[in-house]
Amino acid sequence: MKNQGVLYVSHGSRIAQATAEASECIQQAQKQVDVRLQEICYLEIAKPDIAEGIERLVRRGASHIAIVPVLLLSAGHYYEDIPKAIVQAKKRFPQIIFTYGKPLGVQDRLVDILVERVIETGIFNNLSTNILLVGRGSRNPETIHDINRIAEKLQNKLQTHSIKVCFLAACKPSFDDTLKQIAEKEHAPIIVLPYLWFTGLLIKSMKKKVDSLNQEGNHVVLADYLGLHPHIVQALVERVNEAITSGFIYND
């Protein structure tokens, strides 16, 4: 008899609030997934890790486990870290059928959240406001491609003149350099728009940079991150169901 389990793999953070936000978002999704055996684990820092999460599901009687990456985009964690952990788990539990889902990816409804975040700042004018879309960044070229696609969709939805893209790590252009360049060349307000799911050290670092520029006489507003939004919860629920029914199957 098939006993389906679901393992949500979140990033993990040294910031307790970030871990709490991730857990709350996943718990909202769990309520909408018709599976009894569900566990949360983390890629780093927080516990349990992937191996421990899988072991918990096996002990609870799971015969099939869908691994769901709680990630916005495809990058190193998706292509390397999580698959390595699944391969190791398959060696330990060869009788278990593992399926692997997808990150949320580029979706219009997530871009709609960005639109809300821009409007919430209270300073948006589609003819004059500068918008800086900030991605986490990775060494995978898909990251740059995906963030640029998101920027294009956002520009169309806001009907604004342009949206600049930058990254917090690994990719160019960098957040610090791009924000400084805009502040030096433009006199209009700047909205810094993070394409991040939860709070954390990156958000704190961005806020520090924004505060510093404002002390120098600039007008920069840090918009809120995506956070716990009905659109993002629903997107996660769909990824869970896809992982169960049509995810990549790990064979011996």
For each of the domains in the chain, give its residue range(s) and CATH number, in order of start: 4-104+229-250 (3.40.50.1400), 108-222 (3.40.50.1400)
What is the gyration radius of the CA atoms in the chain, in angstroms?
Answer: 20
- DSSP-derived letter for residue 64 is E
Report the DSSP beta bridge partners of residue 223: none
What is the distance between the alpha carbons of residues 234 and 47, in angstroms, rounded to a whole number? Answer: 25
Query: Residue 2's pLDDT band (boundaries 50, 70, 90)?
Result: confident
Q: What is the pLDDT of residue 119?
A: 97
Query: Residue 14's pLDDT band (boundaries 50, 70, 90)?
Result: confident
Question: Does the pLDDT at position 152 exceed 70?
Answer: yes
- Residues making up the chain, counted from first to last: 252
Q: What is the pLDDT of residue 13?
A: 86
Secondary structure (3-state) at 86: helix
Give the Cα-Cα-Cα angle 39, 98, 34 (nearest 5 degrees): 50
What is the distance between the alpha carbons of residues 106 and 46, in angstroms, rounded to a whole number? Answer: 27
Query: Residue 1's pLDDT band (boundaries 50, 70, 90)?
Result: low
What is the distance between the alpha carbons of residues 194 and 135, in angstroms, rounded to a whole number? Answer: 6
The per-residue pLDDT of the chain, averaged, comes to 94
Q: 107: number of CA atoms within 13 Å, CB side?
A: 18
Q: Is 112 exposed, middle or buried (0-12, 13-18, 19+ CB in 10 A)?
A: middle
